[in-house]
Amino acid sequence: MAQKIAIVGAGWYGCHIGSSLKSLGFDVVIFEQHDRPLHEASGNNQFRLHLGFHYPRHHRTRIQSRDGFMRFIERYPQLSREIPENIYAVPREDSLIDFQTYKLIMTSSGIDFREVRECSVPMRGIDGILIAAERVLLIERARRYFEQRLGDSLRLSTRVQKIEQTPASVDVDGERFDLLIDATWGHLLGLPLKMFYEPTMLLYLETQDPFPAVTLVDGPLTSVYPTEDPNIYTLSSVPHTPLGRVDSPEAARAIRDGVTEELVEQKYKLMSDQISKYLPDFRDHFRLLGPQLAIKTKPVGAFDDRSCYVYRRGRTISVMSGKIDTIFFAMEQIVNILAAVDNTGDDPFGSALRHEIAARRV
């Protein structure tokens, strides 16, 4: 039975999996290269607790989001908050699907919404509007929660350099574990699927007035979404947020770290022009505060698939995260792997023969 488990990465996935495994009685160590949890993609995103409205073209993602949302508010009720007015609007001309089809897909997926004729801000060129009960993730509170919950299991400022797998153990920089979970979103060991890394830029904007969350769907569109600070929002755009598409995390980091003031200004112009087409008063409400930079890991060709996958290679489990609401699906699959040991009494990470051969070699 695997007792001592190493997790690399203290993003949402590493923290949730680590916290769940601790509750189950496992001896867990979580290695994180930064000096706080949720420092990379988990702390630099749109902070949307999805319900499935973003994914009319991907059934599995929609269903995982819908179910993950419910589980998230049950497990972490204090780590998100409601949004008073959360709008999904389908433009008449630029959307890939029409409003009636969009509504039909959400209804048939069991995702609840309210249809309205107008909202608190003027909009134009819109075919229809829904109000959805999505929430905002509270990242600073989540950091404090996981730091406290994980305690000594969290080894911050520790960058993992070397993994060695033997039939009997997996060694993380020379320390022995029964099992390793790579929760680095493909940065440490890669993932056994065709994928690429996408450096991204969202923009932080400030407003003095309350503004609704507005998401234009479906296709190469744009959204403005609140953060945990009531006066700060993020602006995101499907065509303008990506900064490139590269094969390695190093190349993605080089692009992210090379962003200039000029590029930020250019992106602000492009993104605010795009959203002003539908929200004509947008610029009167907001002023640019600065960029938010991150790196996304995406599967090649799996169009719009943002669901979560877990892969096992011997004693190593790799997590391909979907969205934050899909943390539960990763954990479910890890529990299935661990339960297989209990049910059969066998060690699924290496046969008896492998152990014997390894033992003779030393």
Ligand X SMILES: Cc1cc2nc3c(=O)[nH]c(=O)nc-3n(C[C@H](O)[C@H](O)[C@H](O)COP(=O)(O)OP(=O)(O)OC[C@H]3O[C@@H](n4cnc5c(N)ncnc54)[C@H](O)[C@@H]3O)c2cc1C
325, 334, 338, 350: residue in contact with ligand X (rule CB under 6 A): 325
188 touches ligand X by CB under 6 A: yes
The pairs formed by 359-362 with CB atoms below 8 angstroms and a separation of 24 or more are 359/168
Strand extents, DSSP E, the chain: 4-8, 27-31, 48-49, 80-82, 86-91, 114-116, 126-131, 135-137, 154-155, 163-165, 170-172, 175-177, 179-182, 195-206, 213-216, 222-226, 232-237, 287-299, 309-313, 316-320
Verify binding: residue 39, ligand X, rule CB under 6 A: yes
Our finding on whether 252 is near ligand X (CB under 6 A) is no
Establish if 83 lies at the interface with ligand X (CB under 6 A).
no
Give the interface segment with ligand X, choosing from 93-101, 259-267, 323-331, 354-362 (CB under 6 A).
Answer: 323-331
| Candidate residues 10, 87, 106, 180; the one interacting with ligand X per rule CB under 6 A | 10
Structure tokens at 25: 């009685």
Give min distance, CB of 9 to ligand X, in A.
Answer: 3
User: Per CB under 6 A, does 50 bind ligand X?
Assistant: yes
Cα–Cα distance, 235 to 222 (Å, whole number): 8
Tell me whether residue 95 or residue 297 sits nearer to ligand X (CB atom).
297
Nearer Cβ to ligand X (288/341): 288
324: which DSSP letter? Answer: G
| Options 20, 33, 95, 272; binder of ligand X; rule CB under 6 A | 33
Question: Do 2 and 349 touch, CB atoms closer than 8 A?
Answer: yes
Question: Which residues of 9-77 form beta strands (DSSP E)?
Answer: 27-31, 48-49
CB of 329 to ligand X, least distance (A): 12
Residue selected from 132, 139, 160, 317 as contacting ligand X according to rule CB under 6 A: 160
Q: Taking each helix axis from N to C terminus, what angle separates 327-344 and 59-75, rounded to the nearest 10 degrees?
A: 80
Q: Does 132 bind ligand X (CB under 6 A)?
A: no
Chain contacts with ligand X (rule: CB under 6 A): 8-14, 31-34, 39-42, 45-48, 50, 159-160, 183-185, 187-188, 200, 202, 241, 294, 296, 321, 323-325
